[in-house]
Amino acid sequence: MSALALTLAGCGKSYTYKYKITVSVRDHGELRSASNVVSVQEAPTINNGAARPVLCGEAAVVPLRDGKVLFALLKGAPHVVVMGQFQWLTSPTGVLLNRLGLETQWSWKDDSGIRHLPDTKEIIDLKYYEMPDFVTFGELQNPTTIRRVDPEHPEWTLGEGVRIDKVTLQVTDEDVTRGGVDPVLPWLNTWTEFIDGSKWGEPVHSYRSRDFKNCNRLTE
């Protein structure tokens, strides 16, 4: 049975699929990797745009040397928008549709691509601008030490000898991954908006709890 779910969601249809991200890091010659499965539900709005997707899943966690940890978040990284480039935004839907040669204008023009998406199983090697946001912490117990990791130059934050070897993305039928973030960030409170519980998120550069762990849906 297809993983696609077509349901009534406010103004019309919604589309559900699951993706598997695998992050491979070369850490002083040693290959370290982590994989995560996340469920995504997309829906159009009345104004022919796309509503914020509903996610269920967690950030991928890659342990490195010297107690450092790399997190591949549920959201995309900030990039300058370049014509013809599809970026990981609040979900990787646009990236997947574009790289798989499927129709990308699903929210207002043609939903054949997103309807077919759950049936695809091709593994995609992501370009740097298609990747999710990567972060690390100077001190894992201190949320205000969060720092963004540039996938092209991870050595700037993770130190010399560390590079992101490959990031792959694939639509899957596997179960959503759970339990990877809590042991590493036991202080993370998903009931607060920002990771440090502050009102405006300035000390943590506006990183939200849902960027690390999110499952605000009733079904997967």
Buried b (16+ CB within 10 A) or exposed e, 145-154: ebebbebeeb
Question: Does residue 73 lie in a domain region?
Answer: yes
Which of 22-26, 64-68, 69-73, 215-219 shows the lowest per-residue confidence on average (mean pLDDT)?
A: 215-219
Question: Does residue 146 lie in a domain region?
Answer: yes
> How much is the mean pLDDT over the chain?
90
Question: Does residue 63 lie in a domain region?
Answer: yes
Mean pLDDT of 116-126: 96
pLDDT at residue 216, as a whole number: 61
Judged by DSSP in three states, 144 sits in helix
- Per-residue pLDDT of 5-18, as tens digits, reads 333 334 568 999 99
Instruction: Locate 118 and state its tokens.
Output: 């759950």
Give percent of the chain above pLDDT 70: 92
**Side-chain half-sphere CA neighbours of 208 within 13 A:** 9
pLDDT at residue 218, as a whole number: 35
pLDDT at residue 194, as a whole number: 97
- Per-residue pLDDT of 38-77, as tens digits, reads 999 999 987 777 889 999 999 999 999 989 999 999 999 8
Which of 164, 160, 130, 169 has its CA nearest to residue 149? Answer: 164
Cβ(42)–Cβ(115) below 8 Å: no
pLDDT at residue 7, as a whole number: 37
Give percent of the chain above pLDDT 90: 82
Cβ(75)–Cβ(148) below 8 Å: no
Question: What is the span of the domain harbouring residue 136?
Answer: 15-215
Question: Does residue 3 lie in a domain region?
Answer: no
Question: Does residue 26 lie in a domain region?
Answer: yes
- Tell me: pLDDT of 169 over 50: yes
pLDDT at residue 78, as a whole number: 79
- Identify the helix (H) or strand (E) that includes residue 93: helix 93-99
Amino acid residing at 205: H
Question: Does residue 220 lie in a domain region?
Answer: no
pTM: 0.91
pLDDT at residue 12, as a whole number: 63
Q: What confidence tier does 156 reach under pLDDT thresholds 50, 70, 90?
A: very high
Question: Does residue 52 lie in a domain region?
Answer: yes
Question: Does residue 210 lie in a domain region?
Answer: yes
Higher pLDDT, 192 or 49: 192
The number of distinct structural domains making up the chain is 1
Q: What confidence tier does 81 reach under pLDDT thresholds 50, 70, 90?
A: confident
